[in-house]
Each structure stands twice: as C-alpha cells, then as structure tokens.
Amino acid sequence: MAAEWSERQKQDYFLLADTAVLAGEIMLKSGAETHRVEDTIYRILKLSNFERCEVLVVTAGIMVTLEDWRIDTISMLRRVGDKSTNLGNITEVNDISRKLCNGELSLKQAFHLLKHMESKSYMDLYVYACMIIAAAGFTILLGGTFSESLFAALNGIYLVLSMLFNKKFNINVFVTNMAVSFLMAFTTRGFSVIPGVEIEIERVVAGSVMMLLPGVAITNAIRDTLHSDYMAGSAKIVEAFAIAASVGVGIGAGLAIGAIVFG
Amino acid sequence: MLVQVIGAFAAVIAASITFGVPKRFLLYSGFTGAVSWLVYLLLLNNNLNELIAVFAATLVSALLSHIFARALKAPVTVFQIPAILPTVPGVGMYRTVYYMIIGDKEMTGYYFSKTLQIAGMIAIGIFIMDTVFRTFLRKENWRRV
C-alpha cells in the first residue's frame, strides 16, 4: 500500500469534508434536530473509511475532524447563525446524502447540488396567503364561528407584516413575536366592542397566535433529548419557553391596554 | 365537529407551506393533523380528560408521521411539526395571561399548570412513539428517519 497519497486524493478528502459540513450547515440552519445533523455528517464522512471521523454539532455550530495517518488531519468549524425553519431544505439534504451514501451520486455531484440548492420553498405571496389562512383555520379548529375566523384572518395580516418587517430590519424574534401578539390582542379587543359584532376574544386571539407558538422547538427538543443529546434538548426547551413567554407578554399587554382604551 | 376537522386540515396545510414542506407531502401532513384533531375531539366529546385527549391525539399523529416518513423516505419532522400544531396549548396560554391581567391568581395558576401539562403530554406522546419505532423497527433504516 502506498505510504503517501497523491495531491489529488488529498483534495478529494477536503471536498468530502466540505460536502459533509455544507450539508450539516444547511440542515442546522433549516431547523433540523441536532442528532439528525450529526448523523448525516457522520455518514458522509464515513465514506472516506478513515479510522477517525469525529463530528460534534451543537445548536450554534458544527465541528468536524477527519484523521488518518496517510493525510494531514482535516478539521473544520462552522458557526451557524440565524435560523429559519424550512422543512423542505431538510428533506432535500436528506435525499442528497442518502443518494451519496448509496453511490447514486458522485461526491462532486452531491457538492454541486448542495452548493446550488436554492431554498425551494414557495413563492412569498403564497406563504403570506397561507399565514392568513392558517390563522383563520386555527380559529375554526378551536370551534370558532365564521365571523370569528374572519377576524382571525385580519390578525393574520400582522403575521405577514412582521415577516416583511423581519426581512428588512432583522430584529430579534422575541420582539416581533411580542409586538405581533400585542397587536392581535389589542385589535381583537377593539373589534369586540363594536356593536353588532359578536366574537369571543379568546378563540380569535388563541387561533391567530397559534403560528407563533413554539411547536418546532418543542418537537425538536423532545427528539434531541430522546437521542440523549441533553445539551441541544435543554437549549431548545429554553427556546420554547422564551418564545411562549414573549407571546404571552404580548397578549397580556394587548388585552390590558385594550381594556383601558376600549373600556 | 366536521367543520372543525376541516379547519384543522386547512390550517395544518397552510402552516406546512409556511414551514416550506415540499408539495408532494402537503396532503399527508394535512391528513395527519386532521386525524389527530379528530381523535382529540372525539375523546373530548366522550367526557374524557383533556390531557388524555391530547396524549392520544399526539400518539396518533406521531404514529402516522412515522409511517409516512418511512413510506415516503422523508424526515419524520416534516409531518410531525405541522401535525402537533393543533394540540399546542394556545387556549391554555391565552387563559393564563387573561386571568393574570384580571388579577385572579388562582385561575392563573390553574391554567398555567394545565398549559404545562398539555405541553408535557405532547412531549410524552412523541417520546413514546419514537421509542417504539426505534426499538421495534431497528432493522429498518431508522436512523435516517
């Protein structure tokens, strides 16, 4: 067996590590569970058949090391900052890595696909419409009437506005959550005093606030904890609590001030 | 009740789109959410405890998510995250805050603990189904899913 590998082979291993880290980065950014990211990176790195492939993924970053006596150690660290849930991206990377490990894709193809992967989500307009539909739908699901769901749909507009606002100014998510839920509670309280309008504030507000609640954080926290990744699990539970608290504060302030203003 | 289930179906699909769930999975995640909400309503109408209803609904949605994930080769979370949304305790949270504003400490505490309990039930439901699939279906490609 050759003691030294050619330059070209070494480069291939760099590409392998790059691909693995890139896949992990996209997944972590899109809100995948930590253990899934670790697993995906590990499977890709294992294609090298090296004795040592180490991965450590935390909620804020990825560390990877490839070690073998034939090459210099390859080490990479990626910090992953702002996240936004995109389950489509997770599916896509999952597909690519599965095909890569099955041998259906070459390393170069996989890297190319990952690098040029547009976040294949829906058109913006479509997403905005769906936020409004979701707010109305959740109100009906909670037993709301038709007119209640209409008011919830109006509240859904705040969700859209906050999304647009976030895109431009990149504000802390807790602040926007608080502001949105404040506006929702405040305006619903206002609508409820209009004569002839019969709505139950509870259903309208609870339904329209649903989209802000930390469903993603709860699910991922549980799944990470189950895979005995307690660090990620507890971090996400704290995240869930913080999000819920910010929404709660918003609703509370909206109701209280609404009561003063509208009597 | 039918209206509520249809509402759940629409809401879950709309939520899935905002989460970027691929088009080919939308109907499945909507179905999962609607069925779990149907289970919840049925149990509630039969005078069962809300906690038990949430627990059963989560079990059903987790079961369906795992089945779909395996059948369609997708991550479980694609179905799971949208599907638990209906059971997430939004009303409980609203009431907690509402009574806090009124200044009714007793009711605040009651609804606060209830909200936590419901969240805990969702957690346990997902937990159990995950464990079942991990232990009994080990031969399958479970780590991928």
Could you read off the pLDDT of B38-59 as tens digits, one per residue? 999 999 999 889 999 999 999 9
Provide the pLDDT for residue B58.
Answer: 94
Final residue before a domain boundary, out of A93, A115, A137: A115
Residues A77 and A135 in one domain: no
Whether A247 maps to a domain, the answer reads: yes
Provide the pLDDT for residue A127.
Answer: 87
Residue A131 vs residues A138, A152, B53: alpha-carbon distances, Å: 11, 11, 27
Who contacts A61 (Cβ-Cβ below 8 Å, separation ≥6)? A77, A78, A79, A80
Residues A203 and A73 in one domain: no
Q: Residue B34: closest CA among chain A residues belongs to which residue?
A: A141
Q: What is the mean pLDDT of residues B77-82?
A: 90
Alpha-carbon distance of B86 to A3, in angstroms, equals: 60
Q: What is the mean pLDDT of residues B110-136?
A: 89
Q: How confident is the model at residue A6 (pLDDT cuts 50, 70, 90)?
A: low
Residues of chain A found within 8 Å of residue B127, distances taken between Cβ atoms: 222, 226
B144 reaches A (C-beta below 8 A) = yes
Distance to chain B for A114, nearest Cα, Å: 17
Does B126 contact A219 at a Cβ distance shorter than 8 Å?
yes
Place of tokens 């209206």: B3
Query: Which residue among A90, A92, A119 places its CB closest to the CB of B77?
Result: A90
Provide the pLDDT for residue A120.
Answer: 64
Final residue before a domain boundary, out of A91, A115, A139: A115
Alpha-carbon distance of B5 to A140, in angstroms, equals: 9
Whether A12 maps to a domain, the answer reads: yes
Alpha-carbon distance of A12 to A31, in angstroms, equals: 29
Nearest Cα residue to B10 out of B58, B82, B62: B82
Q: How confident is the model at residue B138 (pLDDT cuts 50, 70, 90)?
A: low
Provide the pLDDT for residue A68.
Answer: 82
Whether A226 maps to a domain, the answer reads: yes
Residues of chain B found within 8 Å of residue A86, distances taken between Cβ atoms: 19-20
Final residue before a domain boundary, out of A82, A115, A148: A115
Residues of chain A found within 8 Å of residue B15, distances taken between Cβ atoms: 130, 134, 210-211
Provide the pLDDT for residue B99.
Answer: 92
Average pLDDT, chain A: 87
Give the number of domains in chain A.
Answer: 2
Q: Residue B29: closest CA among chain A residues belongs to which residue?
A: A87
Provide the pLDDT for residue A25.
Answer: 92
Whether A235 maps to a domain, the answer reads: yes
Q: What is the mean pLDDT of residues A198-204?
A: 87
Who contacts A195 (Cβ-Cβ below 8 Å, separation ≥6)? none
The residue length of chain A stands at: 263
Distance to chain B for A36, nearest Cα, Å: 8
Higher local confidence (pLDDT), A71 or B129: B129
The reported pTM is 0.85
Residues of chain B found within 8 Å of residue A90, distances taken between Cβ atoms: 75, 77-78
Does B75 contact A90 at a Cβ distance shorter than 8 Å?
yes
Query: Which residue among B7, B73, B88 places its CB closest to the CB of A137?
Result: B7
CA torsion, points A234, A237, A242, A246, in degrees to nearest 10? Answer: 180
Among residues of chain B, what percentage have pLDDT more than 70? 94
Whether A2 maps to a domain, the answer reads: no
Structural domain that includes position A245: 124-262
Query: Which residue among A91, A119, A213 places its CB closest to the CB of B78?
Result: A91
Q: How confident is the model at residue B145 (pLDDT cuts 50, 70, 90)?
A: very low
Q: Residue B84: closest CA among chain A residues belongs to which residue?
A: A215
Residues A20 and A98 in one domain: yes
